Amino acid sequence: MKCPVCGHPESKVLDSRPTNEGNSIRRRRECLSCHKRFTTFETIESVSFVVVKKDKTRQSFDRMKLLNSLVRACEKRSVSMQQLESAVADIEQTLQATMKNEITTTEIGELVMEKLKALDEVAYVRFASVYRQFKDITTFRDELNKLLEK
């Protein structure tokens, strides 16, 4: 690993520990030349995929866009940022496991609703009302009734 201070190509690892629920490794290093310490992170290289939108346009998957939609749905609710980050990580992991190059917004939306239903029912209904494009109060009530039946 190249030192970020002096550019020397060799360093020694002082400490390694898992981070991010075991999905990456944090390594504390020391440059063999200038003896400055720095931290590196090792993660699994993930396969990028394309999201196919309803109008058939394609764009690359954006983790932050997904997180922002969850934050918006959970606004003023007692859901922590850590819970939302974990939900996004689970959704992303599920999508990676499909081994598909292209994922539809429908597939992503269903996974998000499943996670939100477990986290917070109000956030779930908020997200569902936008995602499923509720046209009127009857559609909204029907979704609430489905939630209450379970």
Q: Per residue in 30-53, pLDDT tens? A: 999 999 999 998 887 666 789 999
**Are 36 and 85 in the same domain?**
no
Q: Report the distance separating Cα 95 and Cα 106, nearest Å.
A: 12
**Are 39 and 57 in the same domain?**
no
**Are 78 and 121 in the same domain?**
yes
- Percent of the chain scored above 90 by pLDDT? 57
Let me know if residue 62 belongs to a domain. Answer: yes
Q: Report the distance separating Cα 55 and Cα 70, nearest Å.
A: 22
Mean pLDDT, the chain, whole residue set: 88
pLDDT at 137 over 80: no
**Are 54 and 15 in the same domain?**
no
* Domain region containing 66: 50-149
> What is the reported pLDDT for 36?
97
The residue with tokens 């002096």 is 6
> What is the reported pLDDT for 5?
95
What does the angle CA 39 – CA 45 – CA 49 come to, to the nearest 5 degrees? 135
10 Å CB burial of residue 21 (0-12, 13-18, 19+) is exposed
Let me know if residue 3 belongs to a domain. Answer: no
Let me know if residue 1 belongs to a domain. Answer: no
What is the domain count for the chain? 2
**Are 134 and 67 in the same domain?**
yes
Which of 6-20, 108-122, 127-141 has the lowest average pLDDT? 127-141
**Are 38 and 62 in the same domain?**
no
Task: Kindly report the pTM of this predicted structure.
Answer: 0.63
